[in-house]
Chains A and B, each alone.
Chain A
Amino acid sequence: METNKKKSYKKPQLQEVKLVPEEAVLTNCKTTASRSNRTCTNASCATLSANANGS
């Protein structure tokens, strides 16, 4: 019985992974503070304010 069947060649594929930049690098927080650009006062959370700087 034929057992050494060759596996058919499959060309390697490049898979592109799209990131959501602000999520990936932790610059967005789901609190009011990050949206209003102020330090968070929400009792359940705290966030440093985001000043426009850098890229």
Chain B
Amino acid sequence: MSYFDDNRRARVDELLTLYPRVRSAMLPLLHLVQEQDGYLTDEGMGEVARLTNTTIAEVRGTASFYDMFHLEPVGRYVVGICTNIACMLVGGDELLEHATRTLGCPVGGTSEDGLFTLEETECLADCDIAPVVQINHRYVRTTTPDTFDQVAEDLRAGRRGEEIPPHGTLIRVRRSGGLRADHDEIIAERATAKSAREARSSQESK
């Protein structure tokens, strides 16, 4: 009856051990929900509430603070185009406007074929290749209307699957294990080592 599938279940179990308090796993867990369902489903948020010992209202309240989380279904590809200052100065608004036509969806909307959701984003920190475009949080590093159209065409044709995973997939590299250091032991050791050092240095200074 578990909400997460087996592969993610293991990652969830590990995540919960990485932090001194379980609620800290909130954001990574929500990313996993989005990876599994494409957006934050009620069931997914319910599961995160259970795992982090919070209420669904808190999970939803937390999730809705962050732009990357979608509480409603989105297209297969979430296309983000930056119009912030650096991109604006070199044509970000124009590219966004162009994209509404190419993708067939208004800003904030999803195309009829369910393929694209278009978003205006704030600065994506890649400003030397402006205007900046991200698709499913992968930089496509394309700046002109023509190259943008080419990318859209590729996606429609099912190409670029390697480069651009399904929406929600954030980190494809798994952490290679939980915490390794024995933290209680360390704290004790440190205290002893420190007092020894202090003793020595006070002796030296004499």
Chain A bound to chain B: no
